[in-house]
């Protein structure tokens, strides 16, 4: 016990050392401080827990789901109320709602990961190039960003999906097209902060090409604030994706997408409320998780804004 305690103390001292012996130690020390700030916020830890649970459920959906998400028991199990055999009840096709919600977590993850992978790099490139190049390039790129920023997201996504045709891939493209501008703004702001610093001057003197400077020396500086913003946006993305699904424009049946499940439960809301209520609960919990996590991350990574 006492040995464990002293070794733990040494670890902490090593991490919080004023004179780190190596770059790795300094980095770990800083991460440790961030982690301490983060875990001091209980709500943020709850958020992290929810997101980890979502990932866990999505990975092991095949093991966790008690029934098939698409094939139901039409004859024996239509619209059953929640009980011990079907924890969330069954829908009009006799499918177990819990199983569908569990498999639906995969679609939710799929949507947010793809939107983040498409939208964040677009914003990062636009913002860093605009910020580093300056002048006309900056003015034109930022004008375009502002134009997209002023657009109503949901309506534009609706119109895009209307043109591209319904489906989860098109919904992802539509959401990604409408959600990159804030990332470009953030990336540009960060770029402007580091652009005139000595280390950039140093690499310029060493003859690095603008492309290399942007890619290797400016983009890494933008990553952390971008991650926070993406995390905060995840909740909105989930809700827009579910909204598109609810309107029949996102994932198509029989895919167990949460928004589409609510839409199919709409007809039964007065008598079999659980068909619509359960998937909505899942949406609420997951997007709340992302909001809590994003909030906590912002406070932990950016001590200036904490409490604001």
Partner 1 sequence: MSLAEPTFHDQGRRRKSASALALALLRFVFIAAATFLGLIAVTFFIGRVMPIDPVLAIVGDRAPASVVAAARQQYGFDLPVWQQFFLYLKKALAGDFGTSVLSTYPVMQDIRRVFPATLELATVGTLIGLLFGIPLGVLAAVKRGSFIDQAVRVVGLIGYSMPIFWLGLLGLLVFYARLGWVEGPGRIGIAYEYTFTPVTGLYLVDAIIQRDWGAFRDVFSHIILPASLLGYTSMAYISRMTRSFMLNELSQEYVVAARAKGLSEARIIWGHALRNAAVPLVTVIVLSYATLLEGSVLTEVVFSWPGIGLYLTNSLQNADMNAVLGATIVVGAVFIALNLLSDLLYQLLDPRTRS
> Interface with partner 1 by CB under 8 A: which residues?
43, 143-144, 146-148, 150-156, 158-160, 162-165, 235-236, 239, 242-243, 246-249, 259, 262, 265-266, 269-270, 273, 276-277, 280, 283-284, 287-288, 290-292, 295, 307-308
Nearer to partner 1, 33 or 164 (CB): 164
To partner 1, the closest distance from the beta carbon of 5 in angstroms equals 32
Distance CA 263, CA 72 (A): 18
Residue number, 94 or 296, with CB nearest to partner 1: 296
Nearer to partner 1, 138 or 222 (CB): 138
Show Cβ contacts of residue 15 under 8 Å, excluding neighbours closer than 6 positions. 25, 28, 29, 32
How many residues are given for the chain? 308
Residue 280: both structure tokens together: 């909505």
Nearest distance in Å: CB 53, partner 1? 15
The three-point CA angle 172-178-181 to 5° equals: 130
Residue 305 DSSP one-character state: G
Instruction: Give least dist CB 286 to partner 1, A.
Output: 8
Distances (CA, A) of 239 to 137, 152, 258, 281, 293: 34, 15, 10, 12, 16
Q: Minimal distance in Å, beta carbon 241 to partner 1? A: 10
Least Å distance, CB 265 to partner 1, is: 8
Tell me the closest approach of the beta carbon of residue 237 to partner 1, in angstroms.
12
Smallest gap from residue 59 Cβ to partner 1 (A): 23
Both structure tokens of 44: 């943020």
Residue with Cβ nearer partner 1 (219 or 278): 278
Q: How far apart are CA 168 and CA 259, in angstroms?
A: 11
The two tokens of residue 122 are 């677009």
Using CA atoms, how far apart are residues 217 and 199, in angstroms rounded to an integer? 9
Compute the least distance from the CB of residue 270 to partner 1, in Å: 5
CB 93 within 8 A of CB 72: yes
**Closest to partner 1 by CB, 67 or 290:** 290
The DSSP output letter for 75 is T
| Residue 128 · residue 218 · CB < 8 Å | yes
Closer by beta carbon to partner 1, 69 or else 259: 259
Q: Which residue has the tokens 């991460």?
A: 31
Q: Give which of 97, 81, 55 is closest to 262, Cα–Cα.
A: 97
SS3 assignment, position 90: strand
Q: Are 293 and 49 in contact (CB under 8 A)?
A: no
Question: 120 or 235, CB closer to partner 1?
Answer: 235
67 vs 160, which CB is nearer to partner 1?
160
Cβ nearer to partner 1, comparing 175 with 200 = 175
CB of 207 to partner 1, least distance (A): 36
The token pair that represents 151 in the structure block: 């657009």
């Amino acid at each position: 016990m006492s040995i464990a305690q002293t070794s733990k103390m040494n670890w902490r001292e090593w991490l919080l050392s004023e004179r780190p012996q190596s770059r790795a130690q300094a980095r770990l020390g800083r991460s440790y401080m961030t982690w301490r700030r983060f875990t001091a916020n209980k709500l943020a830890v709850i958020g992290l827990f929810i997101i980890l649970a979502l990932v866990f459920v999505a990975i092991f959906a095949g093991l966790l789901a008690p029934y098939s998400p698409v094939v139901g028991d039409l004859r024996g199990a239509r619209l059953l109320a929640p009980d011990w055999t079907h924890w969330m009840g069954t829908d009009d096709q006799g499918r177990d709602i819990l199983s569908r919600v569990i498999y639906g977590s995969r679609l939710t993850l799929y949507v947010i990961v793809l939107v983040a992978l498409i939208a964040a790099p677009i914003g990062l490139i636009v913002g860093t190039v605009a910020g580093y190049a300056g002048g006309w390039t900056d003015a034109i790129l930022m004008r375009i960003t502002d134009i997209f920023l002023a657009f109503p997201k949901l309506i534009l996504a609706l119109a895009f999906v209307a043109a591209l045709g319904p489906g989860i891939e098109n919904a992802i493209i539509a959401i990604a097209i409408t959600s990159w501008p804030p990332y470009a703004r953030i990336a540009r702001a960060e770029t402007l902060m580091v652009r005139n610093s000595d280390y950039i001057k140093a690499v310029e003197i060493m003859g690095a090409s603008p492309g290399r400077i942007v890619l290797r020396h400016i983009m890494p500086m933008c990553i952390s604030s971008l991650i926070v913003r993406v995390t905060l946006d995840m909740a909105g993305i989930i809700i827009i994706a579910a909204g598109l699904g609810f309107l029949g424009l996102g994932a198509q049946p029989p895919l167990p997408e949460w928004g589409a499940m609510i839409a199919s439960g709409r007809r039964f809301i007065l008598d079999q409320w659980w068909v619509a209520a359960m998937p909505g609960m899942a949406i609420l919990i997951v997007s709340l998780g992302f909001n809590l996590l994003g909030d906590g991350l912002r406070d932990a990574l950016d001590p200036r804004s904490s409490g604001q």
